[in-house]
Amino acid sequence: MLFRSIMKPIAVDAMGGDKAPGEIVAGAKQAAAEGIPVLLVGPADLADRGDLELLVASEVIGMDEDPASAVKRKKDSTLVRSAEAVRDGQASAMISAGNTGATMASALLRMGRVEGVKRPAIATPIPVPGSTPTILLDAGANAEVEAAWLAQFAVMGSVFSAARYGIASPKVGLLSIGEEPGKGDTLRKEAFELLSSQAGINFIGNVEGRDIMTTEVDVVVTDGFTGNVALKSLEGALKTVVKSLFTAIGQPQYKEHADALMPAFLDLYSQFDPDTTGGAMLLGLNGVCIISHGSSSARAMVNGIKVARDMVQGDIVAKIRTAVGVGGAS
């Protein structure tokens, strides 16, 4: 395949996630079968890897470990070795479904930030039925931020939205408690002023939580604390609605109608399923780092590896470097 001749492999943390290593390895093998070069990172005795290349790492950072101390202490962990593989040119990107904080710390410490980037941010696709997803950032990397960082998140998020979904001029909104310019706390008001004059973005003003899953906005900018709360709230609400819907249509009196509607329901469910998006991207680093959710299945891993491939081939890091250099907030 063409991918193998022109692209270095995607480093896959084989031990990251609730379903590791089985589902992770299965997803990596499927991606490789589809022509994407893969480098598994895991223990020497990693099972069922077939003929996939293995970078041996003897340690694993658990989901409940403190990220900073674990990355510092476990230098031979699968996460650290994955990030080093990207840094050293052995891999073109990394992906993990493991400890999110440790994934961020490993990538940041080993790859480093793009020059001019103040803080990296997690860019998470939020499904919008019938349309392209909305990019929410920051989704958890920075609990406390400065207004200038939010302006820079907007620049990076716009580049990511354009690269991943082909949107020529993504509509950028600032998450607040009202659409009017004066709404929000001091941080939001300061950020609004900076975003209004920020070069390189299509700023449409404040947006509210109800706008995230609509076509009104393509990139939603906020601090990592608020972004993560919004993300988890949406995930919880969707799970509740979907579960309630399937419980309701599962009643005997609705069986005939349910059978007829099931294909449409399953298609809708697929759009909301996080396995479909594959993962979020940590923007602002000198390398591609994809963060998958902790319960990632083989399907989620395949899709995440495809996102990593697309971002490498789309030269996302260079595009962010250019955008920050030209239009980045000071």
Domains of the chain, CATH where assigned: 1-116+284-313 (3.40.718.10)
Q: Return the pLDDT at 65.
A: 95
Q: Return the pLDDT at 38.
A: 97
Do residues 283 and 137 lie in contact, with contact meaning Cβ atoms separated by under 8 Å? yes
Determine the Cα–Cα distance for residues 275 and 290; give it in Å rounded to an integer. 13
Could you tell me the two tokens for 37? Answer: 């070069």
Do residues 140 and 99 lie in contact, with contact meaning Cβ atoms separated by under 8 Å? no
What's the pLDDT band for 330 if we cut at 50, 70, 90?
A: very low
What's the pLDDT band for 252 if we cut at 50, 70, 90?
A: confident
Q: Return the pLDDT at 276.
A: 80
pLDDT mean over 66-82: 96
pLDDT mean over 225-246: 88
Mean pLDDT of the chain: 92
Q: Count Cβ atoms below 10 Å from residue 22 Cβ, excluding itself.
A: 14
Q: Count Cβ atoms below 10 Å from residue 155 Cβ, excluding itself.
A: 27
Write the CB contacts of 278 (distance below 8 Å, at least 6 apart in sequence): 290, 292, 300, 301, 302, 303, 304, 305, 306, 307
Calculate the CA dihedral of residues 28, 29, 32, 37 and round it to 10 degrees: 50
CA separation, residue 211 to residues 17, 154, 218, 316 (Å):
31, 17, 10, 26
Q: Return the pLDDT at 6.
A: 72
Could you tell me the two tokens for 4? Answer: 């193998």
- For the cut 80, the answer to whether the pLDDT of residue 279 exceeds it is yes
What's the pLDDT band for 241 if we cut at 50, 70, 90?
A: confident
255-272 and 224-249 helices cross at what angle (nearest 10)? 160
Q: Is 220 helix (H, G, I), strand (E, B) or coil?
A: strand
Do residues 289 and 83 lie in contact, with contact meaning Cβ atoms separated by under 8 Å? yes
Q: Return the pLDDT at 15.
A: 97
Do residues 145 and 119 lie in contact, with contact meaning Cβ atoms separated by under 8 Å? yes
Instruction: Give the strand pairing for 93-96 and 121-126.
Output: unpaired
Determine the Cα–Cα distance for residues 99 and 224; give it in Å rounded to an integer. 16
Percent of the chain with pLDDT over 90: 79
Q: Return the pLDDT at 327.
A: 52
pLDDT mean over 251-258: 80
pTM: 0.90
User: pLDDT for 183-232, tens place per residue?
Assistant: 999 999 999 999 999 999 999 999 999 999 999 999 999 999 999 999 99
